[in-house]
């Protein structure tokens, strides 16, 4: 995708959140200067790759002096656009929907869940923490009103494609899908999958 | 890690499940021959990278004739050791624990959830689908008895490190962690994180 940084491969963009997380942990540890070598050890990605990835966005470190962690965190947040807070909606008030509605990990990472929808009359109007589950029939209207761009799908696989279609029609631009199914979305719509199988399969090689 | 294929970088191993998933979808579509170029388009990884990754495990395709999808699926499953079914336990019977205990996506992917544990007396003995929630106090004994190697942690962040320590002591070798916290595990123990923030942050760059 062409943008202010030029044509940067998806795979490079995909590594930036990993770098950001590792750097944020360093800050928590009051660890203020780091190196591509140290990041490499934490992340299992080569130091050369890390230097190459970061160099695509500017000059972050001087040869021999390393990276200033706080500056790099701030800059990475700007690059991936999480120096702001995005409103996010959840579709599906089942187990997973409940879990992510109450997930404490979004705080200060650029996201805030603002609404939870379901199409089951037995669930509409019930509470999940601070949220009252809203009727999916009102979802498109509320997405447009709120100019919401990000949604998380936590419905059964059989309903997920229909939900995705409705989301896209309403103006959603990025979908995080928990349903165990691959979704078709138009070009320009971002989609990511939460798939425990994929993570488990990254480990069994070593067992 | 040295093994029968030599010293293959983690990052390469981490891409194999992606290839496997894409190839399995091709099989479902009755799409029997593919190419690195086609896989590249589906995955957003360069064709050269895919060829290089796969070539580390042997000869899968002949120049110009492409890859036999079914053979490649079978071989990748052998390589990452999911040509068998691994028993997996869940620790934490909250929202996320419920969700993954009932997750239908593990079928035929090399994994089967066999037990769910919790330390809350109000949850022990309750049912989640076919499972009866068992007392975490019995967890180590049952891991040893069952020679279980894989666990998913779905407890609050504040309890996750203690649970991980107990799992490792009992013989668990691979942990999938849903708690929003980085865990310390000894060398040789595999750990993966399910982190919706990371996935959301891979998309916001494009918004």
Count how many domains chain A has.
2
Residue A3 has pLDDT above 70, yes or no: no
Angle (nearest 5°) at CA A29 between A28 and A33: 100
Give the pLDDT confidence of B37-51 residue by residue, as tens digits.
Answer: 999 888 878 899 999
Q: What angle do CA A72, A76, A82 make, to 5 degrees?
A: 135
List of residues 6+ apart from A80 with CB closer than 8 A:
A13, A16, A17, A20, B201, B202, B204, B205
Last residue of a domain, one of A24, A58, A79: A79
Question: Strand, helix or coil at A142?
Answer: helix
First to last CA, chain A: 38
Cα gap A161→A182, rounded to integer Å: 8
Per-residue pLDDT reduced to its tens digit, A120-155: 999 999 999 999 999 999 999 999 999 999 999 999
CA dihedral angle for residue B26, residue B28, residue B33, residue B39, rounded to 10 degrees = 10
| B206 part of a folded domain | no
Residues B108 and B170 in one domain: yes
Q: Are residues A155 and A191 in the same domain?
A: yes
- Predicted local distance difference test score (pLDDT) of residue B94: 93
Query: Tell me, what's the pLDDT at B46?
Result: 85
Spatial separation of the C-alpha atoms in residues B12 and B25, rounded to whole Å: 21
Out of A23-37, A104-118, A180-194, B51-65, least confident range: B51-65
Q: What is the pLDDT of residues A4-45, one digit of tens each?
A: 777 888 889 999 999 998 999 899 889 999 999 999 888 878
Q: CB–CB of B17 and A201 under 8 A?
A: yes
- Which residue in chain B is spatially nearest to A155 when comparing CA positions? B99
Contact state of A106 with B173 under an 8 Å Cβ cutoff: no
Cβ neighbors of B117 (< 8 A, separation 6 or more) are B89, B90, B91, B92, B93, B133, B134, B135, B136, B138, B139
Domain boundary among A79, A107, A135: A79
Assigned domain for A203 exists:
no
Chain A nearest C-alpha distance from B78 (Å) = 9
CA-nearest of B64, B66, B76, B79 to B36 is B66
Q: What is the mean pLDDT of chain A?
A: 92
Q: Are residues B95 and B194 in the same domain?
A: yes
Task: Answer yes or no: do B130 and B68 share one domain.
Answer: no
Q: Which CATH number covers residue A143?
A: 3.40.50.720
Is B25 among the domain residues? yes
3-state secondary structure of B44: coil
Show the tokens assigned to A45.
Answer: 């990605």
Q: Is residue A46 part of a domain?
A: yes
Instruction: Note whether B81 contacts A204, CB cutoff 8 Å.
Output: yes
| Alpha helices (H) in B91-138, listed in sequence order | 95-101
Question: Residue A101's Cα: distance from chain center in Å?
Answer: 14
Contacts of B100 in chain A (CB under 8 A): 196
For residue B138, the distance in angstroms to the closest alpha carbon of chain A comes to 24
CA separation for the pair A104, A117 (Å, rounded) = 19
What CATH number corresponds to the domain at position B37? 1.10.10.10
Check CB contact under 8 Å for B205 and A81: yes
Same domain, B52 and B106: no
Nearest to B173 among A192, A197, A207 (CB): A207
Residues A65 and A21 in one domain: yes
> Is residue B148 within 8 Å of B172, Cβ to Cβ?
yes
The DSSP secondary structure of A77-104, one letter per residue, reads HHHTT-SS-EEEEEE--SHHHHHHHT-G
Q: How far apart are CA B166 and CA B163, in angstroms?
A: 5
Domain that holds residue B159: 86-198
B180, B202, B207 member nearest A173 (Cβ): B207
Q: Which residue has the higher pLDDT, A60 or A69?
A: A69
Taking only the tens of pLDDT, chain B with its 207 residues reads 446 777 888 889 999 999 998 999 899 889 999 999 999 888 878 899 999 999 998 877 666 778 999 999 999 999 999 999 999 999 999 989 998 998 888 988 999 999 999 999 999 999 999 999 999 999 999 999 999 999 999 999 899 999 999 999 999 999 999 988 888 899 999 999 999 999 999 999 999
**Which token pair is A14?**
């995909």
Q: A191 and A92: one domain? A: yes
pLDDT value at residue A44: 73
- A71 and A93, same domain (yes or no): no
- Calculate mean pLDDT across residues A168-176: 98
Is A130 contained in some domain? yes
Domain assignment of residue A204, yes or no: no
On whether both B57 and B94 belong to a single domain, the answer is: no
A179, A157 Cβ separation under 8 angstroms: yes
C-alpha distance from residue B18 to each of A193, B22, B73, B175 (Å): 11, 6, 11, 19
Shared domain for A182 and A91, answered yes or no, is: yes
Place of tokens 């705080």: A107
| Whole-Å CA distances, B92 to B24, B154, B156 | 31, 5, 8
For residue B2, is it within any domain? no
Tokens of A138: 């009102």
Same domain as B69, residue B128: no
- Residue B175 within any structural domain of the chain: yes
* Claim to verify: residue A72 and residue A106 sit in the same structural domain: no
Partner residue opposite A82 with nearest CB, options B82, B102, B204: B204
Q: Could you tell me which residues are beta bridge partners of residue A87?
A: A112
Q: Could you give the 3-state DSSP secondary structure of residue A2?
A: coil
Complex-level ipTM beyond the 0.95 threshold: no
pTM value > 0.90: no
Rounded to whole angstroms, the Cα distance separating B108 from B131 reads 19
Q: Which of B58, B79, B100 is the last residue of a domain?
A: B79
């Amino acid at each position: 995708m062409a943008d202010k940084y030029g044509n940067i491969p998806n795979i490079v963009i995909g590594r930036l959140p990993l770098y950001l997380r590792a750097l944020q942990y360093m800050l928590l540890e009051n660890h203020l200067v780091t190196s591509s070598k140290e990041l490499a050890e934490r992340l299992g990605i080569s130091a050369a790759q890390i230097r190459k990835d970061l160099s695509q966005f500017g000059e972050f470190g001087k040869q021999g002096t390393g990276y200033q962690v706080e500056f790099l965190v701030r800059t990475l947040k700007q690059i991936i656009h999480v120096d702001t807070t995005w409103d996010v909606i959840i579709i599906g008030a089942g187990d997973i929907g409940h879990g992510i509605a109450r997930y404490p990990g979004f705080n200060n990472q650029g996201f805030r869940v603002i609404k939870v929808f379901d199409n089951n009359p037995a669930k509409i109007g019930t509470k999940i923490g601070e949220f009252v589950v809203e009727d999916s029939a009102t979802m498109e209207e509320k997405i447009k009103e709120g100019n919401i761009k990000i949604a998380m799908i936590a419905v059964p696989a059989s309903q997920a494609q229909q939900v995705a279609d409705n989301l896209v029609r309403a103006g959603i631009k990025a979908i995080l899908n928990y349903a165990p199914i691959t979704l078709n979305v138009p070009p320009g719509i971002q989609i990511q999958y939460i798939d425990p199988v994929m993570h488990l399969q990254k480990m069994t090689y070593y067992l």
